[in-house]
Amino acid sequence: MYNLWYKNAVIYCLDVDAFMDSDGDGVGDFQGLADRLDHIEALGCDTIWLLPFYPSPDRDNGYDITDYYAVDPRLGNLGNFVEFAQGAKDRGLKIMVDLVVNHTSIDHPWFKASREGHPKYRDWYLWKDEKPADAEKGVIFPGVQESTWTFDRKRQAYYFHRFYKHQADLNIANPAVREEIERIIGYWLALGVSGFRVDAVPFILEDLQGPGDGQSPYGYLGQIRRFLSWRRAEAILLAEANIPMDQAADYFGDDDRLNLVFNFPLNQKLFLALARREALPVRDFLKALPEIPETAQWATFLRNHDEIDLGRLKDEERAEVFAAFGPEKSMQIYDRGIRRRLAAMLGGDERRIAMAFSLMLSLPGTPVIWYGDEIGMGDNLDLPERNAVRTPMQWSAKRSGGFSTARPADCVRTPVTEGPFGYAHVNADAQRVDPASLFATVQRLIRARRSCPEIGWSRPEVLDVDGPSVIGLRYSWRGNHLVTLHNLSDEPQTVEISPLIEGCEVRPVLRAGIDIDRTGDGLTLKLGAYGYEWLRLEAVAEGA
């Protein structure tokens, strides 16, 4: 079996233009990122996922691409990318990049040629002579996006765009387009990339459900996987796919399609549980988690570069989460989501933030961390749409948070300058030397997660523990047993774990806010407000 490194990985996601500026122009770049790799290594993450860094008009944070084979000049050049990749390799860090092939920018040469009727590119996009009657249905960005079809004067036809009108959908049913996608994958693999986060996977498959070459839409995932494996056996595909659990088998296949899929429904249940301070939403979800191939994996997260999408919750459940974490209209977006960072939503309470991190790291799957959350960065709600959570990394208390020597107003996005989350109060320099800081806590949590491969390799047993606010999970793999307990409440909770540890020696892996009572062979844990405990259970040999 090939190296399944992703089963026990911890992924750190960042936006190059917001991470570190090396030349003072207010835009982060690859040289700046290379200079800050020590931060990621020290945190304990072993994989870096880069948001799009390709040439782009940047109308959608780089997801509107004009060239898949280059680096945006603002961020450097291919030489700078290779230097960064070498620096990451020297530190044992793997690199993943975004594969954004559902659409391109309308400024891409392919689209320009297609709208002019060029014989090679004419059918690289989806065109109709008449605007479909349902063009206003299925928009992804309500309130911002008006339609999924836009008239092009040059071609005198309508082109399809599942997202913004400046992002025309590629015609994935066209074999020439699929061949080009393989060429893109092969190119970045040759430059040292270990995997791809595939953007908008359900919408890639959507284009294959109509007339095409007759192939199964889900079969295309297998086609990409085979090509990837031929070029580099250990490379992986991580899908952005907000799917119901009954579709998991379609996306994972029989260990021949996607390696990982983001577990968006679990994320939504997690925030519902945090809002209620009750464990039931997560408990029930995990009990019903479908079986997936042994080598497949979910990806878990607290926050990412987009909104917290609550679209799969019931209306009344979504209202609860809004009330708890996004009560003001300015904090909400697209009628379904919240555009705030984790620390701000949790009121800056480091006990609760640490518990949330510990819980996420203990959930089944590969954890993904959004840059800046490890130090408790806040958001800038004055910025439009999802840019609120994409502010520059706060390195120090210096101007612009040490991200750039440029003024805050001249940075790629205005940093958080005021309030309790401003860079004078929240920054990496101060936290790295403070053993009680959030950074130090997350560092310990990541170290614990990487020492517990049971979480990545086995399905958890959901424990029926006392107390409605406690999530208890037990993992068993290759004779190893791990129990994790998390109190979502701001009130202490008592958990009797004697039945769980019968015949076992108990060794703590992690703990916070815990008191222990031992009575004979019994063991009772008193979890304080937002307390958590990770325990390794080791069988006691007979006669010992």
- Residue 87 CA to residue 103 CA, distance in Å, equals 31
Comparing CA positions, the residue from 210, 186, 193, 204 lying closest to residue 257 is 204
Whether the Cβ atoms of residue 458 and residue 298 lie closer than 8 Å to each other: no
The string of DSSP letters for 462-520 reads EP--SSTTEEEEEEEETTEEEEEEEE-SSS-EEEE-GGGSTTEEEEEEEEEEEEEEEET
Whether the Cβ atoms of residue 310 and residue 318 lie closer than 8 Å to each other: yes
- Other C-beta atoms within 10 Å of 165: how many? 16
Phi-psi region of 109 (alpha: psi -120 to 50; beta: other; left: phi over 0): alpha
Whether the Cβ atoms of residue 19 and residue 377 lie closer than 8 Å to each other: no
The residue with tokens 């494996």 is: 229
> Cα 422 to chain center, whole Å?
24
- Residue 485 CA to residue 475 CA, distance in Å, equals 12
Whether the Cβ atoms of residue 76 and residue 29 lie closer than 8 Å to each other: yes
Q: Annotated catalytic residue: which of 240, 317, 454, 533? A: 240
User: Which one-letter amino acid corresponds to residue 509?
Assistant: V
Whether the Cβ atoms of residue 219 and residue 209 lie closer than 8 Å to each other: no
Q: Answer yes or no: 130 catalytic.
A: no
Q: Answer yes or no: 335 catalytic.
A: no
Comparing CA positions, the residue from 21, 36, 163, 150 lying closest to residue 91 is 36
Q: Annotated catalytic residue: which of 199, 307, 373, 379? A: 199
Q: How many residues does the chain have?
A: 544
Strands of 143-190, DSSP E: 149-152, 157-160, 167-169
DSSP assigned state of 421: T
Angle of CA points 75, 80, 83, to nearest 5°:
140
The catalytic residue positions are 199, 240
